[in-house]
Amino acid sequence: MIYLILSILSSTVIFVTFKLFDRFKINRFHAIVVNYMVAASCGLLAYNGVVSTGDIIGKGWFPFTVALGILFIVIFNLMALTTQRSGLSVVSVATKMSLVIPIVFGLVYYNESLGFLKLTGIILALFAVYLASLKTKKGLKIDKRNLIYPLLVFFGSGIIDTSLKYLEDTHVAENEVAIFSSTIFAAAAVVGILILTFQALGRKFVFEWKNVIGGFLLGIPNYFSVYFLVHALRSDILESSGIFTVNNVAIVMTSTLVGILLFKEKLMPKNWLGILLAVLSIVLVTFNSW
């Protein structure tokens, strides 16, 4: 359970960091690229073995980490585009609702249990994510022409979580979690650096130290959010469908509460209802496993 709690706390720190990006006008993409480099470095420092490029390339999980790294960058840009076209609430809902994909994968592929309490908890979790993420009275409004973007964010985010579960179960040894996580971030960093290089050649790149500092502050919790999640999936405290449900809902709940305490955010009644449903869903899902 400690790994799951640490993963939730790490993801909450990511939320706080992104809020500070807005306050200090930090270029998100530039900071994200630095964040991937920092996260990759954290994995290298945490790895107990000898780091050999040849050995890493020879690992069965290496091609998948490269694909995931590319997907990280793609999804980030899609999230930015969706925010621009449809608003932040749409992105938040699409990202967190994607927990359906790894849940279904765990139930079907691993034949995980689905009792009444767990099913009820999962359904309440989806309502909780939706209600807690809405920041306007009118709900979500998406132009049909822009519907493809949140759908891609939804599927992309779900594929990332599902892939992490599958890879840690079938390809990653216990002592390889750190270097596995590091390689994913390194692949994302390489793609990001290439994009920044093209921007620089097109004279669209402006270097600012605040973006580097922001990326550094984001990179550490970002690495540990993945590292602890992989370890949580390896624990026997909950099945993967339960882990993803509790993880995503708890992140939404804690991030919302932190927004109130640190940033004086105002919540509407439906946001409070979302938090209440989040607590109830966590209780039901975890109680189902006892």
**Residue 188: predicted pLDDT:** 95
**Residue 242: predicted pLDDT:** 92
Block means of pLDDT (10 residues each) for the chain, 290 residues, are 93 89 89 95 88 88 94 88 78 88 93 90 92 75 81 94 92 90 94 91 87 95 93 88 92 88 85 93 80
**What's the domain count of the chain?**
1
**Residue 203: predicted pLDDT:** 80
Distances (CA, A) of 144 to 114, 133, 197: 35, 21, 34
Q: Please, where are the H alpha helices in the chain?
A: 2-23, 28-46, 53-58, 62-86, 88-97, 100-109, 116-133, 148-170, 177-201, 209-234, 240-263, 269-288
Rounded to whole angstroms, how far apart are CA atoms 239 and 275?
23
Distances (CA, A) of 21 to 32, 160, 169: 11, 24, 35
**Residue 259: predicted pLDDT:** 86
Length of the chain in residues, anyone? 290
CA-wise closest residue to 225 among 75, 39, 88, 65: 39
pTM of the model: 0.89
CB 213 within 8 A of CB 30: no
Distances (CA, A) of 50 to 44, 47, 108, 173, 231: 9, 8, 38, 15, 21
Residue type for position 287: F
**Residue 290: predicted pLDDT:** 53
Most distant CA pair in the chain: distance in Å? 58
Residue 279's domain spans which residues?
2-19+26-288
**Residue 237: predicted pLDDT:** 83
Contacts made by residues 108-114, CB under 8 angstroms, sequence distance 24+? 109/166, 110/239, 110/240, 112/239, 112/240, 112/241, 113/239, 113/288, 114/241
